[in-house]
């Protein structure tokens, strides 16, 4: 009944509480709803990974194999639902947005940043793609001797900030 970060000290990111709320459906704690959610998250993430690979590589075989490789790689997480499994979906969405944004459409980089921000709100390490993609954009800028990729990195950072600013405004609105 207490508000995390306001009435007690907590180090987990804010979405970790929201995402595990289905475990308390019906007034009693049960991980069964979380296992069902974990299966759907795994399938959705695999499909997004496949779309990202198809968009990025234009290789239909790689696009068909990628979801299966993802599912095989996450089999250790499926029986036990955890933050890492849940952060994979927004991370895959970020990868897909980066892939379709290769033409320089900043709105996709902004969406990728939002997805990475959401991933970091599941678990802190979900923010690591921000650094990875940012490094790629800066390397592209150096190699191309162009500022275009710097704009992509900036859009990524702005997008990343959006979910955190929304969470902060919720706490400020609650008088915290």
Segment 17-69, tens digit of pLDDT: 788 888 888 788 888 888 889 889 999 999 999 999 999 999 999 999 999 99
Confidence at residue 79, expressed as pLDDT on a 0 to 100 scale: 65
**pLDDT tens across 71-89, in order?**
888 887 556 788 888 999 9
Of 149, 144, 73, give the one whose Cα is nearest residue 106. 149
Confidence at residue 6, expressed as pLDDT on a 0 to 100 scale: 58
Count of positions (residues) in the chain: 176
Q: List the structure tokens of 57.
A: 């590589």
Of 149, 168, 170, 155, give the one whose Cα is nearest residue 114. 155
The Cα–Cα gap between 125 and 83 comes to: 10
The Cα–Cα gap between 176 and 173 comes to: 7
């Amino acid at each position: 009944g207490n508000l995390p970060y306001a009435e007690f000290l907590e180090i987990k990111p804010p979405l970790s509480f929201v995402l595990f709320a289905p475990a308390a459906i019906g007034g009693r704690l049960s991980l069964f709803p979380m296992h069902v959610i974990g299966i759907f998250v795994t399938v959705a993430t695999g499909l997004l990974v496949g779309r990202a690979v198809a968009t990025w590589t234009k290789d239909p075989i790689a696009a068909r194999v990628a979801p299966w490789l993802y599912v095989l790689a996450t089999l250790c997480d499926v029986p036990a639902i955890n933050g890492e499994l849940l952060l994979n979906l927004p991370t895959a969405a970020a990868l897909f947005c980066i892939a379709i944004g290769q033409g320089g459409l900043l709105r996709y980089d902004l969406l990728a940043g939002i997805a990475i921000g959401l991933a970091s709100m599941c678990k802190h390490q979900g923010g690591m793609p921000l650094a990875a993609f940012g490094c790629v954009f800066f390397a592209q800028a150096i190699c191309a001797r162009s500022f275009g990729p710097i704009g992509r990195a900036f859009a990524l950072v702005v997008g990343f900030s959006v979910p955190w600013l929304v969470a902060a405004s919720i706490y400020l609105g609650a008088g915290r």
